[in-house]
Amino acid sequence: MNAATVALGTVAIGTDHDGDLAIATCGLSKRFGTQTAVDALGLVVPTGSVYGFLGPNGSGKTTTIRMLLGLVQPTSGTRTLLGCPIPARAGDVLPRVGALVEGPAFHPYLSGRSNLARLDSADLLADPRTARTRIDAALDRVGLLAAATKRYRAYSLGMRQRLAIAGALLVPRDLLVLDEPTNGLDPQGTREVRHLIGSLAADGATVFVSSHLLSEVEQMCSHLGVMSDGRLVAQGTSASVRGVAGPLARVSSDQPLEAARVLTELGLTGVEVLDGEVRGIPGSIPAEKIVAALVHDGVGVRAFSIASPSLEDLFVSLTGEGFDVSG
Beta-carbon contacts of residue 318 (< 8 Å; ≥ 6 apart)? 8, 11, 226, 228, 233, 234, 244
H/E run at residue 25 = strand 21-32
Query: 135 Cβ partners below 8 Å, 6+ apart?
Result: 113, 116, 117, 120, 170
Does a structural domain hold residue 325?
no
Same domain, yes or no, for 61 and 192?
A: yes
pLDDT band at 8 (very low <50, low <70, confident <90, very high): very low
Say if 322 falls within a structural domain: no
Residue 189's pLDDT is: 78
Amino acid identity of 26? C
Q: What's the average model confidence in pLDDT over 58-65?
A: 91
Residue 321 pLDDT level (bands cut at 50, 70, 90): low
Does 269 lie in the same domain as 175? no
Residue 320 located in a structural domain = no
Rounded to the nearest 10 degrees, how much is the dihedral formed by the CA atoms of 88, 118, 182, 14? -20
Residue 3 has pLDDT above 60, yes or no: no
Judgement on whether residues 89 and 165 belong to the same structural domain of the protein: yes
C-alpha to C-alpha distances, 268 to 43, 246, 300, 308, nearest whole angstrom:
34, 12, 18, 15
Q: Does one domain contain both 299 and 192?
A: no
Per-residue pLDDT of 133-145, as tens digits, reads: 999 999 998 889 9
pLDDT in tens, 301-319: 999 998 776 676 676 666 6
Strand partners, 277: 252, 274
Give pLDDT, residue 185: 77
Q: What letter represents residue 69's amino acid? A: L
Among 321, 304, 305, 302, which residue's Cα sits nearest to residue 313? 321
Instruction: Answer yes or no: are the C-beta atoms of 52 and 45 closer than 8 Å.
Output: no
Mean pLDDT for all residues in the chain? 85
Q: Report the percent of the chain where pLDDT is more than 90.
A: 57
3-state secondary structure of 148: coil
- Confidence at residue 1, expressed as pLDDT on a 0 to 100 scale: 35
Burial of 179 per CB tally in 10 Å (0-12, 13-18, 19+): buried
Cα torsion 195, 200, 204, 207: sign = negative
Can you give the pLDDT at residue 190? Answer: 82
Is residue 193 a part of any domain in this protein? yes
Closest Cα partner for 307 from 259, 218, 247, 227? Answer: 247
With CA atoms as reference, report the closest residue to 168 among 128, 123, 232: 123
* 245-258 pLDDT tens trace: 568 899 999 999 99
Given this model, what pLDDT does residue 193 score? 82
Taking CA atoms, 46 is separated from 10, 21, 23, 76, 150, in Å, by 24, 5, 7, 23, 39
If one compares 285 and 324, the residue with the highest pLDDT of the two is 285
- Single out the residue in 223, 242, 261 at which a domain terminates: 242
- The Cα–Cα gap between 134 and 2 comes to 38
Structural domain includes residue 323 = no
pLDDT in tens, 224-236: 998 888 999 889 9
In the β-sheet with 248-252, what is the strand arrangement from edge to edge? 269-274, 277-281, 248-252, 303-307
CA angle 146, 198, 235 (to 5 degrees): 135
45 and 176 in one domain?
yes
pLDDT of residue 70: 93
Q: Is the same domain home to 231 and 253?
A: no
Shared domain check, 59 and 159: yes
Alpha carbon distance 258, 160 (integer Å): 53
* Amino acid 138: pLDDT: 95
Any idea which of 20-34, 43-57, 84-98, 190-204 has the lowest mean pLDDT?
Answer: 190-204
- Mean pLDDT for the stretch of residues 10-36: 74
Please give the DSSP secondary-structure letter assigned to residue 260. Answer: H
Residues 67 and 206 in one domain: yes
**Domain of 277: which CATH number?**
3.30.70.100
Tell me, yes or no, whether 228 and 284 share the same domain. no
Domain with 24, as residue range(s), is 3-242
pLDDT computed for residue 104 by the predictor: 75
So what's the pLDDT on residue 140? 93
Is 215 found in the same domain as 268? no
Query: Which pLDDT score, from 0 to 100, does residue 116 have?
Result: 97
What CA–CA distances, in Å, run from 214 to 166, 193, 244, 326?
A: 23, 14, 17, 7
Q: What share of the chain is helix, strand, coil (3-state, %, to 5)?
A: 35, 30, 35
Name the domain boundary from 212, 242, 272: 242
